[in-house]
Structure 1
Amino acid sequence: MSRFRYGEYDDGPDPLAPPYDVRAALDELGRSVMEGARPLRALRDLLRRGTQGRSGLDDLLRQVRERRERLRSSGRLDGTLEQARALLDRAVGQERAELFPDPSDDARLRESELDSLPADTAAAVRRLADYEWRSEAARRSFAELRDLLRREILDSQFRGMKEALTNGSPEDMRRVGEMVEALNAMLEADDRGEHTQADFDRFMAEYGDFFPDNPRNLGELVDSLAQRAAAAQRMMNSLTPEQRAELSDLMGQTMAEAGLTEAMERLSGALRSRRPDLAWSGTEEMDGAEGMGMGDATTALEELGELAELDTALSQDYAGAGLDDIDEEAVRRALGRSAVDDLARLRELERELRDQGFLRGSRDRMELTPKAVRRLGETALREVFATSPVARPGQHSTADSGQAGELTGASRPWRFGDEQPLDVVRTLANAATRGRAPGDPPGRLRLRADDFEVAETERRDASAVCLLVDLSYSMVRRDLWGTAKQTAMALHSLVTTRFPQDAVQVIGFNAYARELAPESLAELEWEPVQGTNLQHALLLAGRHLDRHSDFEPIVLIVTDGEPTAHLERDGEATFTWPPSQDTTALTLAEVDRMTRRGAALNVFLLADDPRLEEFVDEVARRNGGRVVRPDTARLGSYVVHDFLDRRRRAG
Structure 2
Amino acid sequence: MIGYRFTDFIPNSPLGNIFQQLLNIFLQLLNITAGDVSEALNLLNELDRKYNLTTNDYGIGDFIEELKEKGYIEEGQQNEHVYYITTKTEREIRRKALEEIFSKLKRGGKGNHPTPFSGLGDEKTSDRRNYQFGDRLDQLDATASIKNAQINHGINNFELTEDDLEIEELEYKTAASTVLMIDVSHSMILYGEDRITPAKKVAMALAELITTKFPKDTLDIIAFGNDAWPIEIKDIPYLQVGPYHTNTVGGIELAMDLLRRKKNRNKQIFIITDGKPTCLKIGMKYYKNSFGLDRKIINKTLDKAAQCRKLGITITTFMIARDPYLQRFVHEFTKVNQGRAYYSSLTNLGEYIFEDFVRNRRKNFK
Distance 1:355 1:525 in 2: 29
Distance 1:17 1:553 in 2: 48
SS at match of 1:558: strand
Distance 2:204 2:25 in 1: 16
Among 197, 205, 208, the residue aligned to 1:482:
197
Letter in structure 1 aligned against 2:218:
A
Deviation readout 1:462-509 (Å, 9 max, x if unpaired): 110111121211111232121111111111111111101100012121
Aligned to 1:513: 228
Distance 2:234 2:90 in 1: 6
Shift of 1:625: 0.9
Greater helix percent: which structure?
Answer: 1
Q: Bigger radius of gyration, 1 or 2?
A: 1
Kept in 1: contact 2:196–2:240 (CA 8 A) = no
SS at match of 2:339: coil
SS at match of 2:180: strand
Aligned to 1:26: 23
Distance 2:345 2:314 in 1: 22
Among 566, 573, 587, the residue aligned to 2:301:
587
TM alignment of 1:384-533, pairs within 5 A = 384-395=101-112, 396=114, 399-400=119-120, 460-477=173-190, 478-527=193-242, 529-533=243-247
Cα distance change of structure 1 residues 40 and 555 upon mapping to structure 2, 3 Å threshold: same
Shift of 1:622: 0.8
Aligned to 1:622: 336
Aligned to 2:132: none
Shift of 1:392: 4.6
Letter in structure 1 aligned against 2:199:
A
Letter in structure 2 aligned against 1:463:
A
Deviation readout 1:574-626 (Å, 9 max, x if unpaired): 32223433222222222122111111211112112233222211111111112
Among 89, 93, 101, the residue aligned to 1:376:
93
Shift of 1:368: 2.0
Q: Which runs of 5+ in 1 are unaligned?
A: 1-14, 57-337, 403-407, 411-457
Letter in structure 1 aligned against 2:103:
A
TM alignment of 1:227-376, pairs within 5 A = 339=56, 341-343=57-59, 346-362=60-76, 363-376=80-93
Deviation readout 1:177-198 (Å, 9 max, x if unpaired): xxxxxxxxxxxxxxxxxxxxxx
Deviation readout 1:101-128 (Å, 9 max, x if unpaired): xxxxxxxxxxxxxxxxxxxxxxxxxxxx
Percent of residue pairs identical: 25
Cα distance change of structure 1 residues 496 and 617 upon mapping to structure 2, 3 Å threshold: same
TM alignment of 1:138-149, pairs within 5 A = none
Among 36, 40, 48, the residue aligned to 2:33:
36
Distance 2:22 2:176 in 1: 35
TM alignment of 1:83-102, pairs within 5 A = none
Deviation readout 1:356-415 (Å, 9 max, x if unpaired): 22212334533222221111111111111223333154233975499xxxxx999xxxxx
Letter in structure 2 aligned against 1:558:
I
Kept in 1: contact 2:184–2:240 (CA 8 A) = no
Distance 2:308 2:275 in 1: 20
SS at match of 1:633: coil
Kept in 2: contact 1:536–1:566 (CA 8 A) = yes
1:576 aligns with 2:289: yes
Distance 2:231 2:110 in 1: 25
If asked which structure has higher relative contact order (CA below 8 Å, sep 6+), I would say 2
Number of residues paired by the alignment?
A: 298
The 4+ residue runs of structure 1 with deviation greater than 6 A are: none
Deviation readout 1:18-67 (Å, 9 max, x if unpaired): 4255454332112112223522210232245349x8655xxxxxxxxxxx
Deviation readout 1:240-269 (Å, 9 max, x if unpaired): xxxxxxxxxxxxxxxxxxxxxxxxxxxxxx
SS at match of 2:74: strand
Letter in structure 2 aligned against 1:632:
L
Shift of 1:342: 3.7
Deviation readout 1:58-85 (Å, 9 max, x if unpaired): xxxxxxxxxxxxxxxxxxxxxxxxxxxx
Distance 1:30 1:466 in 2: 25
Kept in 1: contact 2:279–2:289 (CA 8 A) = yes
Distance 2:101 2:121 in 1: 34
TM alignment of 1:54-69, pairs within 5 A = 56=54
TM-score, normalising length: structure 2: 0.72
SS at match of 2:347: helix
Aligned to 1:642: 356
Cα distance change of structure 1 residues 361 and 565 upon mapping to structure 2, 3 Å threshold: farther
Kept in 2: contact 1:468–1:506 (CA 8 A) = yes
Shift of 1:536: 0.9
Distance 1:480 1:372 in 2: 22
Aligned to 1:326: none
Distance 1:540 1:409 in 2: 45
Distance 2:53 2:324 in 1: 49
Distance 1:460 1:588 in 2: 32
Deviation readout 1:297-344 (Å, 9 max, x if unpaired): xxxxxxxxxxxxxxxxxxxxxxxxxxxxxxxxxxxxxxxxx85x344x
TM alignment of 1:530-609, pairs within 5 A = 530-570=244-284, 572-578=285-291, 579-609=293-323
Cα distance change of structure 1 residues 379 and 342 upon mapping to structure 2, 3 Å threshold: closer
Among 38, 46, 49, the residue aligned to 2:47:
49
Cα distance change of structure 1 residues 400 and 573 upon mapping to structure 2, 3 Å threshold: farther
Distance 2:109 2:32 in 1: 29
Letter in structure 2 aligned against 1:461:
T
